């Protein structure tokens, strides 16, 4: 349950609020969580109730209930959130006047890093292995491997993920290093605010004193002269002090229009590396990892179906997988290639699933508990004849095979096939059981909407 929570909120939030929580047990069907004080109690009710209920649902609870109880004060003292300052040691010297030091420590460093974007969670393929290797090299020796590291590629291919991965890697090993991740837009906005509020000194100090600066989507510097000017000075200050800079962009520096020449050349000082669209195998591997992280068991052929249908970028690939999961659970149908194709059909170029005669035979056989050999055989018992007729009916409907071809497949002539299909056609709508079977089979084979 905590894993679920952790995956859905930031690291800092987690440590602040959830780390100190004590589960107290279940009372009248409600999970009782012990919290530090009434403020925390209120806060949980307001902000985390839904998340906790979702977490319980993810564990299979039907109608989850969560309540909170304030823990006795004795324990209170031991339950400070971990990133709150602990009892501070007596000052050795008189505190110097001046601005409060900037907060350091891994919690603070990682506040703007997505906890999921780590190297462990990054699938390496031929499309991104150079960028990955470069990022890892930079993470291992910041400021000394490649500076700056410039990663470019289309949207949704993993640039932000890789940048964050470097951030996590360094934050873990050097908790005191100052890491700043921000988008070019945030940099611009902060700069504008700093100018307006007369806080340029603070602004400069902030960005010129970091150990690792990660700036995302630097192509948005285009046309912003004042931001470029300020970024130029930030860049120089960091570079001269051997502080690592990583930049991402949707295109290489030479293609960023209206970028000052001196900035462009600086961006080219280090290493420029690109990420391409992932190939099929990499897409499947990413989907597989995603499903595992979410503890969802999805058959390989279904993952492959999704990977075949969604080729553009990884964000969409992940979205597509979630769509398939939602579709299958909302309609209460098991995962299958057909279900995947159907779930994705209105969003992604629909790829008709080619239904083959043997697929129909197999699925019908499974449903009625009759082997495919018997279905194709000569037996005339009713519990064989009906499934056989259903199979012929569905083959006719879902494939483009002619009656003689179907006959040949079953070792019968085409008039027998026609007769069988007529039988089923007459029964559909009248025989509720049979109709339900056929709907379900169609659904399994083709992903037709089970709700009508």
Residues annotated in the binding site, as ranges?
156, 158-160
Q: Which does 66 bind (CB under 5 to 8 A by kind): Mg ion, ligand ADP, none?
A: none
17, 43 Cβ separation under 8 angstroms = yes
Angstrom distance (rounded) from CA 325 to CA 345: 14
Q: Is 395 exposed, middle or buried (0-12, 13-18, 19+ CB in 10 A)?
A: buried
Pick 210 or 218: Cβ nearer ligand ADP = 218
**Phi-psi domain of 447 (left: phi exceeds 0; alpha: psi -120 through 50; beta: other):** left
- The DSSP result for 37-81, as a single string, is SHHHHHHIIIIIHHHHHHHHHHTT-SS--EEEEEPPHHHHGGG--
Largest CA distance in the chain: 103
Taking the complex as a whole, how short is the minimal distance between the CB of residue 173 and ligand ADP, in angstroms?
22
Segment near Mg ion (CB under 5 A); pick from 77-85, 152-160, 325-333, 433-441: 152-160
Taking the complex as a whole, how short is the minimal distance between the CB of residue 244 and Mg ion, in angstroms?
18
Q: Which does 156 bind (CB under 5 to 8 A by kind): ligand ADP, Mg ion, none?
A: ligand ADP
Q: What is the gyration radius of the CA atoms in the chain, in angstroms?
A: 30
283 scored as a contact of ligand ADP (CB under 6 A)? no
| Residue of 81, 115, 143, 156 interacting with ligand ADP (CB under 6 A) | 156
344-383 positions binding ligand ADP, by CB under 6 A: none
Q: Which does 344 bind (CB under 5 to 8 A by kind): Mg ion, ligand ADP, none?
A: none
Angstrom distance (rounded) from CA 323 to CA 350: 14
Angstrom distance (rounded) from CA 393 to CA 428: 11
70, 35 Cβ separation under 8 angstroms = yes
Q: What is the DSSP letter of 14?
A: I
224, 188 Cβ separation under 8 angstroms = yes
Segment near ligand ADP (CB under 6 A); pick from 180-188, 310-318, 416-424, 432-440: 310-318
Q: Which residues are annotated as a binding site for ATP?
A: 156, 158-160
| Residue of 16, 41, 127, 160 interacting with Mg ion (CB under 5 A) | 160
Segment near Mg ion (CB under 5 A); pick from 115-123, 153-161, 273-281, 336-344: 153-161
**Phi-psi domain of 182 (left: phi exceeds 0; alpha: psi -120 through 50; beta: other):** beta
314 scored as a contact of ligand ADP (CB under 6 A)? yes
Taking the complex as a whole, how short is the minimal distance between the CB of residue 310 and ligand ADP, in angstroms?
12
Pick 117 or 220: Cβ nearer ligand ADP = 117
318 scored as a contact of ligand ADP (CB under 6 A)? yes
Taking the complex as a whole, how short is the minimal distance between the CB of residue 282 and ligand ADP, in angstroms?
7
Collapsing DSSP states into helix, strand and coil, what is residue 100? coil
Angstrom distance (rounded) from CA 193 to CA 108: 22
Q: Decide the pairing of beta strands 149-153 and 244-249.
A: parallel
Pick 109 or 127: Cβ nearer ligand ADP = 127
| Tokens standing for residue 381 | 């018992």
Binding-residue pattern over the window 104 to 143 for Mg ion, x denoting contact by CB under 5 A: ----------------------------------------
Pick 276 or 408: Cβ nearer ligand ADP = 276
106-145 positions binding ligand ADP, by CB under 6 A: 117, 121-123, 128
Taking the complex as a whole, how short is the minimal distance between the CB of residue 55 and Mg ion, in angstroms?
28
Q: What is the DSSP letter of 18?
A: I
Q: How many residues bind Mg ion (CB under 5 A)?
A: 1
Contacts of 151 (CB under 8 A, 6+ apart): 131, 134, 135, 159, 162, 163, 246, 247, 248, 249, 273, 274, 275
Q: Which residues bind ligand ADP (CB under 6 A)?
A: 117, 121-123, 128, 153, 155-161, 286, 314-315, 318
Q: Which residues bind Mg ion (CB under 5 A)?
A: 160
């Amino acid at each position: 349950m905590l894993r679920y929570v952790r995956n859905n909120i930031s690291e800092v939030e987690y440590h602040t609020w959830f780390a100190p929580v004590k589960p107290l047990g279940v009372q009248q069907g409600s999970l009782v969580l012990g919290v530090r004080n009434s403020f925390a109690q209120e806060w949980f009710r307001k902000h985390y109730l839904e998340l906790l209920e979702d977490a319980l649902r993810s564990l299979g609870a039907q109608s989850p209930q969560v309540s909170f109880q304030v823990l006795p004060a004795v324990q209170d003292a031991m339950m400070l959130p971990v990133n709150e300052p602990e009892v501070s040691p007596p000052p050795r010297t008189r505190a110097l006047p001046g601005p409060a030091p900037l907060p350091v420590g891994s919690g603070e460093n990682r506040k703007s890093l997505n906890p999921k974007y780590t190297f462990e969670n990054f699938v390496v393929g031929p499309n991104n292995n150079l960028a990955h290797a470069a990022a890892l090299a930079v993470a291992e020796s910041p400021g000394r491997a490649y500076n700056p590291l410039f990663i470019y590629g289309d949207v949704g291919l993993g640039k932000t993920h890789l940048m964050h991965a470097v951030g996590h890697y360094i934050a873990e090993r050097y908790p005191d290093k100052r890491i700043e991740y921000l988008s070019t837009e945030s940099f611009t906005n902060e700069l504008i605010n700093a100018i307006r509020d007369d806080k340029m000194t603070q602004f400069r100090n902030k960005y010129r004193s970091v150990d690792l600066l990660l700036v995302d989507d630097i192509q948005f510097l285009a046309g912003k002269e004042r931001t470029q000017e300020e970024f130029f000075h930030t860049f120089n200050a960091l570079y001269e002090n051997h502080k690592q800079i990583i930049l991402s962009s949707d295109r290489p520096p030479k293609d960023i229009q209206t970028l000052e020449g001196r900035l462009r050349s600086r961006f080219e000082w280090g290493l420029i590396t690109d990420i391409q669209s992932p190939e099929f195998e990499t897409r499947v591997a990413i989907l597989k990892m995603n499903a595992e992280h979410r503890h969802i068991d999805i058959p390989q052929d279904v993952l492959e179906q999704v990977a075949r249908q969604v080729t553009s970028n990884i964000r969409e690939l992940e979205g597509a997988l979630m769509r398939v999961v939602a579709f299958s659970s909302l309609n209460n149908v098991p995962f299958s290639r057909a279900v995947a194709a159907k779930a994705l059909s209105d969003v992604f170029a629909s790829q008709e699933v080619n239904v083959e005669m043997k697929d129909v035979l197999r699925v019908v056989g499974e449903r009625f508990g009759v082997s495919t050999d018997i279905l194709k055989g000569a037996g005339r018992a009713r519990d064989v004849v009906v499934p056989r007729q259903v199979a012929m009916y569905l083959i006719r409907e879902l494939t483009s095979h002619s009656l003689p071809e179907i006959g040949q497949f079953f070792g019968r002539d085409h008039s027998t096939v026609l007769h069988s299909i007529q039988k089923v056609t007459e029964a559909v709508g009248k025989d509720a059981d049979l109709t339900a079977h056929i709907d379900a089979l169609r659904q399994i084979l083709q992903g037709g909407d089970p709700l009508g």
